Structure formats: structure tokens, C-alpha cells
Structure 1
Amino acid sequence: MSYLKFEKALMTNLQESLPKEILRTNRSGAYSCSSIVDCNTRKYHGLFVIPVPELDDENHVLLSSLDCSVIQHGAAFNLGLHKYQGNNYSPMGHKYIQSFDCDKVPTTTYRVGGVILRKEVVFQHHENRLLIRYTLDDAHSATTLQFRPFLAFRSVRQFTHENSVANKDYTEVENGIRTCMYPGYPDLYMQFSRKVKFVFQPDWYRGIEYPKEQERGYASNEDLYVPGYFEVPIRKGESIVFAASTTENKVRTLKPLFQQELDERAPRDNFFHCLINAAHQFHVEDKNGEKYILAGYPWFKARARDTFIALPGLTLSIEETEFFEAVMKTAEKGLREFMEEKPLTVKLYELNQPDVPLWAIWCIQQYAKEEGEERCAKKYGQLVWDILSYISDGKHPNLLVADNGLVKTDGSERAVTWMNSTANGRPVVPRTGYIVEFNALWYNALCFGAKLAQEAHHDDIADILNQKAGKAKDAFLATFVNKFGYLFDYVDGDKQDWSVRPNMIFPAAFDYSPLSQEQKKNIIDICTKELLTPKGLRSLSPKSSGYNPMYVGPQAQRDYAYHQGTAWPWLFGFYVEACLKLYKRTRLSFIERQMVGYEDEMFCHCVGTLPELFDGNPPFHGRGAISFAANVAEILRALEQLEKYKY
């Protein structure tokens, strides 16, 4: 039996099946995403969603869905499913689903009387081409398939509605048509692997509703344009391949192309392989050959902080050093352009955040652990030293080295840390001044920079960095360690933030830490008692003022909960690192039990991956973005660390 398989009882129960989503990507920014019953529940959902750089920097839904109907003896059975206003679902095609399996590719098996139809979906890597193979596994009489494409041609952040501007013209191409609803968009080619009949029957399907947008307090209704339908007879045992793309297809190649793509897919037959598959979905290569890590799906872009946090887990932990180096090549270009105040030529966002260069050094440090310090010093040593000089010389616009040797930043008016939610234009968590993880990163970076300098025989650089590290260590202990044995989250002048937050886990986890073993133990104990959940570390302790663990409701309500008690899986990776460094093998069984909470998520929310965050209270529902790079990365890194301590 497949690892990721859902039977008829679950698939036909919309309360169970609608919340489960499935994601496919092409590793160039395009994706296909819906619920496992093919009912779109978000405005971000769509069968064929691609970037259109000629228009803007967003993704755009061209083909929202493709309804397939089975026709026998003149009777049509529509396998599609849409939600309309008033909680009405039509045409209720989910009742024909026998099973859904996404071991290699998402595969839905339908049964309509004596007809068994299997649908398999792949998104071709690095091409704007989606392929769907329909196979008639069984039928006792003549069978015809009918396909109705639902077109949107809109940004993922907007809706489309019936209008007189939409272009309804189409051109017949081999085994299909091409069409384009609005100027500026590419043509959408819809073709089949064999000859089909297209019947032009234009209509708008009005009042389609997206319940996930309703939950989030947004507008939730749109109209979709259906230009007509395709019709094709199919015999028992025969397969037909449909292609949606932005370039014309050679229809003779569609069947072998689908099989080739299928053969390249690794099976998702266990927890680890699911995470590897999810890791690859964040890979993006643009038309210039620059490689990036997307922060998450469906609405995140390549953000600098997320890139450096996620990159080691997504690559080094699964022995994909080559892709690490490719992404770092792009990132180094962006970092240097930022430090030299040149226009950015890479699409790496938020490079100006003050902790980004420090996370870049941490990221390089993980490379050194995997590939050796000598190789790391040759490849990235100069970048590390240049970053440290840039900060030390006071050139960063919002990261200043104070007289005591620590770094400070201004986050009073604008969120500058990973806890970046805002309300009414102000940070919900105004972390400012001396921030605990900034200074843990700073101390770690100084020590690591010194180590690389020693490796490269630059003793003068090593001496300077070691002196700065010694000064920072003394100031760190004097500034952050409080009388209750944990760390202040930030210190701004006379103000000390006593909130129990997970940011103190970083100095306990980093290779170079200013803390003693006893201090690390105190931090791990408090994190275990007050912050640890089956889905990650809470962003705030239930005992602290302002605890708000449920990430639900309209945007403003969610903003106030975003970092006020919600649980984040990526923090668990650093918790594991701290635990294993301090307690070694004695904590292995405990950590393995904690991993069960993440494996459970393979069958929930977005199948085979981890969402952005979870409610901080039971039952710990997954929330936010359906797939989040840092979470997948740090659970992969945690699994790698477990293996190292086992053997």
C-alpha cells in the first residue's frame, strides 16, 4: 500500500478531504495547487499558475481547473467539483472518487458504474507545461470523455469577474486550441495527445467561492470563463494526455514526455522521502540561470533570511552540495551588491534586514561542517570576512556595533527580525536595541570567521576577530542572562523584555556560544517546559503576557497572533541541535518521539510537506502558507543530526 493514499471514505467526506491540499511545482516559479478532491478553496489555487514577468512580480492563474465528464449511453457524469455561494457544491464529482494516491505523482481513481478512470498529474520541470494523463482502466461500453477548461487569467492576489473586455477568440492548433483573455498575458495552449473535437460554447460560471479566503476575512467570490469543451472517445486500456502550456506542443511527444517526467519522480514512500520531495519544490531557477530558494507556497517569494536559514537543511542535509553552491552564488552576488550600495540584479528580497548577513555566515558555517573548513575558507572565506568588516565598520544602515561589542538595531518603528508581523503600520512585537539572536549570531560569526582565518593562515584577521568575540561574549552574558536563568528577548536601554520566547534557543544551539553548559541547560529546560509542542516551539510562553496562540480570523486578528504563541517547526531544528550537543545520546529517544508530530503532518494540510506555522494550543492546527521552506529544512537537518548521534 502506498504511503500517501486516501481511500473513498475520506475522499467523499468533504469535511475531511477539502482541507487537504496538494502542490506540484516546476522549479521555475510555476505551480499547480488545489485540494485533493480538485475543488479550489483559495484564490491562490489553480491547475496552471505561472509567473508573468512582463506584467508584474506575481504568479498568475491561467487555467483554474479542468472538469472531466464521463459519457456513456448519452449520459454525462461530471467528475469536477466547485463551491458556489450559499455553501452549494456542484457538480459533486468527488462522490465518484475511489482513491487518491500521491506516491510518485498525484493520482485520482474514479469509478462511474462500470467505468474506472485514472487521472495522473505532473508539472514538467523548468517548463511552463502541465501534463495530465487519463487512463481508462475499465469500461463495458463505448466511452467518451469531455473536458471543460475554467479560465481565470488573473493574479493570484486578485479575482476575475464577468466582463465585456475579456477576449473570447481562440485559434485551433494541433489537437486543441490556444487562447488569451487579456493583453500582456501569454497564450494558453490546451492540447491533447490525440485528435479531439472542440465545441465553442462560451459562458461564465458565476459565484465560485473560496472558503479559505472567507476564513481569512478576505473577499472570496469570482466568476470563471469557460470557452467551451473538448470531446474525445476513449477505449478500455487507452491513455490520453492533456497539456496546458504557454508554448505549442508537439502532440506526438506528449505521451512519452509524460512517461519521462513520471520516471524521473522519486517515490514519496516514507516521511524522509516526502521531505526531500518538498525540499525540491522550493528550488527555483530563473531565465538567467540564477538559482533561488522560495520561502514558501503559495504566496512567498525568495526572501534573504529564509534562504540562509533553509538552505543547509534543503541541500546539505540531503547531500545536494551542488545546489547549495549554486544558490549561494546568487546570494553572494546579492549580498555584495547590497554592501556596495549597487542596484540589485538578483531577485532576493529583504536583503536590507539587519540579521541577514549574520544568517548568511551561519549558513556558510553549515557548509564548512559538511565539506570541511579548508574548502569553505577557499570558497567563502573572503565573503565572511567582508561581511564582518562591513558590520564592524558601521556601514550597515541598521546594524551598529556598540561600544560594549554587541550589535544593536532599531526595530521600534519597523519590524526587523523574523518576528515581523505588523498592525496599523507598527510592529506587533517591537523588538529593538540589543536582540538576543542577533547577538548570538554575531558572536558565532566572529568566532567562525576567526576559525576560517586561521585555516587560511590569516593570523592577523583571526586575532582581531577573536578579540571582538571575547568582548562580545562578556557583554552578552552581562546583557541577556537574567536572574531566572533564561535570556531576555531584547534589551533596549533600561527596558528588558522578560517575555519567554524561543529566540534564546539559538545561542544554546550555535557551535560558538557565549553561554556555559549550565546556562544552556537552563534555557533548554525552560524551552521544553513552556515552549515545546508536537509541532515546534511556541513563539511565546503561555505564562507570558499577551499569549495568543490561535492563528485564525481576519488579517488584523491573525497579525496579533502571528508571533504571540503560535508554534513554528523550524525552531525545533535548533532545539534538537541544542539538546543533542548538551545531552548527547540520552535525548535521542525523546527527540524521536517528538518527530511523530511532524510525520503526522504528511497526511494533513498540504500533503507531503509542512505548513508555515501551527496554533500553539491543541489540537495544533496547521496554518498560514501550505508549504514553508524553513520548516522542511530544519526537520531535515534535525533528522540528519539524529542519524549522526545514533552511529
Structure 2
Amino acid sequence: MSYLRFDKTLMTNLEESLTREILRTNRSGAYHCSTIVDCNTRKYHGLLVIPVPELDDENHVLLSSLDETVIQHGAEFNLGIHKYGGGTFSPRGHKYIREFDCEKVPTTIYRVGGVVLKKEKVFVHHENRILIRYTLVDAHSDTILRLRPYLAFRSVRQYTHENSQANRHYDEVDNGIKTCMYPGYPELYMQFSKNVTFHFEPDWYRGIEYPKEQERGYDFNEDLYVPGYFEMSIKKGECITFSGGISSIDTESLNELFAKEAERRTPRDNFKNCLINSAHQFLNKQGEESYLLAGYPWFKCRARDEFVSLPGLTLSIGEVEKFEKIMDTAVKCVYAFINGEDSALKMTEIEHPDVLLWMMWTVQQYAKFTSKEAAKNKYGQLIKDVMNYLVSGKHPNLEVHANGLVYSNGREKAITWMNSTANGRPVVPRTGYIVEFNSLWYNALRFAADLLADDQDFAAGLQGIYEKTAPSFVETFLNEYGYLLDYVDGNMMDWSVRPNMIFAAALDYSPLDAKQKKGIVDIVTKELLTPKGIRSLSPKSGGYNPNYVGPQIQRDYAYHQGTAWPWLEGFYLEAYLRIYKRSAVSFVERQMISYEDQMTCHCISSIPELFDGNPPFQGRGAVSFAMNVAEILRTLNLLDRYNNQ
């Protein structure tokens, strides 16, 4: 039985099937995302969603969906499904679904009387092209397949509505047509592997609704343009491949191209392989540059997210070369920043004060997976330049104080990973001596001094700082209850029990002794640990708000006030293993197992952005989040190493 198979009972129950989404990407920014019954429930959903750099930095939905109709003896059976007002779904094609399998490629089996039709989808690597292969598995009489494209040609953050400016013109191309609704967009080529007839019947399908947007407090309906429909006969055993892309293709190659692309996919036949497949989807290759997207469907490349995610998404699965390629681009971004140069590179938020410290941690992981010598040869100069930049006080918002700690101003602008804002101000205004910044700072000082010990003057300079940092850290952050203050700014100190202290116990170099680390791990276990990650705030602390629901402002206030984050658990479990060693292995394995049910819900075979902090720990936010996938993979790698000792 397939690891990711869903039967008729689940597929025909919309309360169950509409909550499950699939994501396929081309590794260059484009994607296909929808529910497992192909009913779009978000404005971000679509069959072909691509970046259009000529217009802006957003993704754009060109082809929203492609509705299938099976025709036998003049009777039409519509296999598509859309949500309209009043809770109406039309057509109700999901009732013909017999099973859905997502182990290799998303595969839907429809049964209409004696007709059994199989639909499979793949995204071509590094090309803005979606392929759909239709196979008539069984039929007892002549069968016609009709396909009706729904076009949007709009940003994922907007909607399209019926208008007179939309261009209805189309041109015939090899086994299909090309069309473009608005100036500035690329032409959409819709082609087939066999000869088809296109019937031009332009119309708008009005009032299509997206319930996920309604839940989030946004506008939630739009009109989609249908230029007509394609029609062709299909025989028992025959395969017909559809291509939707922004360039023409040799249609005789489509069936072969589909088979080739399907073969390249990582089989999602177990928990780890699902996560590996998901890890590959975050790669975003733009020309010669490579990035990691922070998540789907709405995130771009964010510097902190990339450095936190990079080891888990590459090194943990043996992809050292991919790590190096992504770091090649990241290094260019780092140098552009520290040299004050303008850059056309696509990494955002690199100015945040902890980003360079996370970069140091990323190189540290590379040193552990390869060797110190390899890290020194490849990144030694980078490490030296970055540490000299920070020590000399050149960073605009990371000041090294005389006590060896680093200070950042976060009163007016969110500067940490807890970055939600409301009314233009941080919901959690963390400022001053911030606990994870200083944990990362101490770790960076010690790692750089160790890696570049041959440069005696450089290493001695860093030693002079970290010997002051360690006692200052303990004096500043450790309170009488055995846990760490979240931030300290003069007389202002945050006593909230938050997860940011876990980094002081998890990082390779820590200013804390073993007893102090154990105290932190124990309180995180007691107050913050859930089956789906580490809470961003203890239920015992003021302002606890664990449910990430409602309109934007309500979600902003809940974002870091009790919601659970899986990526934090990676560091928590690393700290747990450091303290309890082999006796902790079974506990860590149980925590990992608690994520396996996510492979068949929310976004199939991936991990969402966050979870509610209270039972039933519902997944929320972006459907697939890089840091979460990365840290679970890194933890699985740590487990393997402990088990193989």
C-alpha cells in the first residue's frame, strides 16, 4: 500500500479533502498548489503560478485550473470542482474520484461508469511548465476528453474580475493555442501530445470563492476567464500529456518528457523521504545564483531563514555540493552588505542584527559535516572578515559593549525571528541584550577563534572578548528561577518564559555550565514542549495566545505569543541529546514520530509554518516552511549519528 494514498471515502468528503493541499515546484520559483481534489481554496492556489520579474517581485497565477469532462454517448461527466457562494460546489467532480496517490507524482483515479481515467501531474525542473498526463485505463465505448482552462493572469496577492480590458485573442500553435490576457505578461502556451480541437467560447466564471482567504479575514472571491475548451478522443490504454508553459514545446516529446521528469522525483514512501522531497522544493535557482525560499506559497528568500535552514536542507541529506552552491550566492550577499554596496541579489532582511551570527552557525555545521580544514579553506576569509566587521562596531544595529555582550535596538522595528508587527510596531518589542543574539555571539566568537587558531593575533583578539562575554551572559540573563531572561535593556527585563533561551544550551559553544543548561532544558520541557514544536510563550506567562486564527490583526497578536514552532524543537532536541546523551534517543525518536501524521494532512509530505499551542495543535500559516523541514531533517541526522556510535 502506498505511503501517501487516500481512498474514495476521504476524497469525496470535502470536510476532509479540502483541508489537504499538494505542492509541486520547479526549483526556480514557480509552483503548482491546490487541494488534493483540485479545488482551489486560496488565492495563492493555481495550476501554473510563476514569477514575472518584468512586472514585480511577486508570483502570478496564469493558469488557475484545468477542468476535465469525460463524454460518452453524448453524456457529459464533469470532473472539476469550484467553490461558489452559499456553500455551493460546482461541478462536483470529486464524487467520481476513487483514489489519490502522491508517493511519486500526484495521481488521481476517476471512475465514471465504465470509464477509468488516471491523471498525473509533474512540474518540469527549472522551467515554467506544468505537465498533466491523462491515461484512459478502461472504457467500454468511444470516449471524448474535454478540457476547459480557467485563466487568471494576476498576482497571488490580488484577484481578477470580469473586465473589458482582458485580451480574448489567441493564436493556434502546434497541438494547442497561446494567449495572453494583459500587457506585460508572458504568453501562456497550452499544448497537447496529440492533435486537439479548440472551441473558442469565451466566458467569465463569476463568484468563485476561496474559503481559506475568508478564514484569514481577506477578500475571498474572484471571476476567472475561460477562453473555450479543448476536445479530443482518447482510446483505452492511451496517454495524452498536456503542457501549460510560457514557451512553445515540441509536442511529440511531451510523453517522454513527462516520464523523464516523473523518474527524477524522490519517492515519498516513508517519513524521511517525504521531508527530503520537501527540502528540494525550497531551492530557488535564478540564473547562476541559488537561494532557499523561506516557505510556500507566499515567502521569498529571507536571510535568517536561509542560514537556519541550509544545513538541514542540504548537509543532513548528504548534499554538500548544493550547500556550497547556495552559500556561494549567500557569500556575495554578505559581502555586499558589510561593504555597503547595492546589490541586485534576491536575499532580503540581511540587515537584521542576528543574520551574520546565523551565517557563522551555518559554516560551523559545514565544518562538522565535512571537516574544519575544509571549512577553513572555503570560508576562513569570510569568517575573519565578518568577525572583524562585527568587532569593529560597523554593523548598524549590533553593538559590542565593553562587557562582551552585543546590544541591538528593537523598540521601533522587529529585529528578531519574532517579527510580527501591528499598527507599524513590533508585537513583541525585544530590544537591548537579546538572549539568542548573545548565545549566537558567544558561539561565533569561540568557533571563529578555534577555526582560525593559526592566526594568533586574530584568535587572541576574539578570546579577549569571549572571556568577558561568558560571565556577563550569566550575570545578565540567568535568574534565580534557573531560566534565562528573554531580553534585558537597562532596568527593563523580560521575565516571560520563551524558547529563545534554548540556543544557549544547544549551541556547540555555550557560556553556561552543564547544570545551568539542564535547568533550561527542563523548564522548556515543562512549559513549552508540545507534540508539534516548542511554544513561543509559556501558558504561565502573561499574554499567552496559542491559537493562530481570525483576521490579520488577531493572528499578528498570536503569532509569537504561544504558537508552537517545529524548527525550535530541533535545537531543543539537540540540547536534550547533549545533556542526556544516549538515554535521550528514545525520547527524541518519539518526538519525531509526532510529526509523521503531518505527511498526510495540511500540505502533503511537508510541515506547515506553525501550530496552535494548545490541543489539537492544528497546523497554521504557510503550507510548507523551510526552517521546520530543515530542523526535523537535522534532528533525524543527529539521531542516526547517536544510533551509529
Per the TM superposition, whether the score is higher than 0.5 is: yes
Q: Is the 8 A contact 1:121 1:133 kept in 2?
A: yes
**Equivalent residue for 2:470?**
473
Identity of aligned residues (%): 67
Using the alignment, how far apart are the partners of 2:588 and 2:150 within structure 1? 47
Q: Is the 8 A contact 1:316 1:324 kept in 2?
A: yes
Using the alignment, how far apart are the partners of 2:328 and 2:466 within structure 1? 28
Q: CA deviation at 1:384?
A: 1.0
Q: CA deviation at 1:149?
A: 0.1
Using the alignment, how far apart are the partners of 1:57 and 1:85 within structure 2? 32
**Equivalent residue for 1:344?**
343
Deviations 1:213-252 (CA, angstroms, capped at 9, x unpaired): 0000000000000000000000000000000000001000
Q: CA deviation at 1:66?
A: 0.1
Match for 2:192: what amino acid?
Answer: F
**Equivalent residue for 1:370?**
369
Q: Is the 8 A contact 1:43 1:156 kept in 2?
A: yes
Which residue, 583, 588, 603 being the options, matches 1:586? 583
**Secondary structure, counterpart of 2:542 in structure 1:** coil
Q: Is the 8 A contact 1:415 1:421 kept in 2?
A: yes
Match for 2:43: what amino acid?
Answer: K
Match for 1:63: what amino acid?
Answer: L
**Equivalent residue for 2:442?**
443
Using the alignment, how far apart are the partners of 1:345 and 1:209 within structure 2? 37
Query: Quick check: 1:528 aligned with 2:525?
Result: yes
Match for 2:540: what amino acid?
Answer: K
Moved more, 606-615 or 390-399: 390-399
Q: CA deviation at 1:599?
A: 0.7
Deviations 1:579-616 (CA, angstroms, capped at 9, x unpaired): 11111011111111111221110011000000000000
Q: How does 1:131-142 map to 2 (within 5 A)?
A: 131-142=131-142
Using the alignment, how far apart are the partners of 1:471 and 1:459 within structure 2? 19
Match for 1:305: what amino acid?
Answer: R
**Equivalent residue for 2:99?**
99
Q: Is the 8 A contact 1:540 1:566 kept in 2?
A: yes
Moved more, 339-348 or 43-52: 339-348
Using the alignment, how far apart are the partners of 2:490 and 2:84 within structure 1? 55
Match for 1:316: what amino acid?
Answer: L
Using the alignment, how far apart are the partners of 1:367 and 1:23 within structure 2? 29
**Equivalent residue for 1:294?**
293
CA RMSD of aligned residues (A): 0.5
**Equivalent residue for 2:235?**
235
**Equivalent residue for 1:191?**
191
Q: Is the 8 A contact 1:103 1:267 kept in 2?
A: yes
Deviations 1:341-369 (CA, angstroms, capped at 9, x unpaired): 00013100001100000000000000000
**Equivalent residue for 1:161?**
161
**Equivalent residue for 2:567?**
570
Match for 2:316: what amino acid?
Answer: S
**Equivalent residue for 1:359?**
358
Using the alignment, how far apart are the partners of 2:82 and 2:221 within structure 1? 12
Q: How does 1:371-410 map to 2 (within 5 A)?
A: 371-410=370-409
Query: Quick check: 1:561 aligned with 2:558?
Result: yes
Match for 1:558: what amino acid?
Answer: R
Match for 2:206: what amino acid?
Answer: R
**Equivalent residue for 2:259?**
259
Using the alignment, how far apart are the partners of 1:381 and 1:345 within structure 2? 25
**Equivalent residue for 1:57?**
57
**Equivalent residue for 1:11?**
11
Using the alignment, how far apart are the partners of 1:365 and 1:126 within structure 2? 30
**Equivalent residue for 1:126?**
126
Unpaired segments of 5 or more residues in structure 2? Answer: none
**Equivalent residue for 1:331?**
330
Using the alignment, how far apart are the partners of 1:453 and 1:262 within structure 2? 46
Using the alignment, how far apart are the partners of 1:266 and 1:410 within structure 2? 45
Using the alignment, how far apart are the partners of 1:478 and 1:377 within structure 2? 33
Count of aligned pairs:
644
**Equivalent residue for 1:22?**
22
Query: Quick check: 1:619 aligned with 2:623?
Result: no
Match for 1:615: what amino acid?
Answer: D
Deviations 1:286-332 (CA, angstroms, capped at 9, x unpaired): 02x10000000000000000000000000000000001001111001
Q: Is the 8 A contact 1:4 1:269 kept in 2?
A: yes
**Equivalent residue for 1:170?**
170
- Deviating above 4 A after TM superposition, structure 1's stretches of 4 or more consecutive aligned residues are none
Match for 1:157: what amino acid?
Answer: R
Match for 2:531: what amino acid?
Answer: P
Deviations 1:471-524 (CA, angstroms, capped at 9, x unpaired): 111110110000000000000101110000000100100000000100000000
Q: Is the 8 A contact 1:334 1:345 kept in 2?
A: no
Deviations 1:532-557 (CA, angstroms, capped at 9, x unpaired): 00000000000000000000000000
Deviations 1:358-387 (CA, angstroms, capped at 9, x unpaired): 000000000000111011011111111111
Q: Is the 8 A contact 1:411 1:431 kept in 2?
A: yes
Q: CA deviation at 1:563?
A: 0.1
Using the alignment, how far apart are the partners of 1:487 and 1:90 within structure 2? 55
**Secondary structure, counterpart of 1:91 in structure 2:** strand
Deviations 1:225-283 (CA, angstroms, capped at 9, x unpaired): 00000000000000000000000010000010001111111210000000000000000
Using the alignment, how far apart are the partners of 1:384 and 1:453 within structure 2? 9
**Equivalent residue for 1:420?**
419
**Secondary structure, counterpart of 1:178 in structure 2:** strand
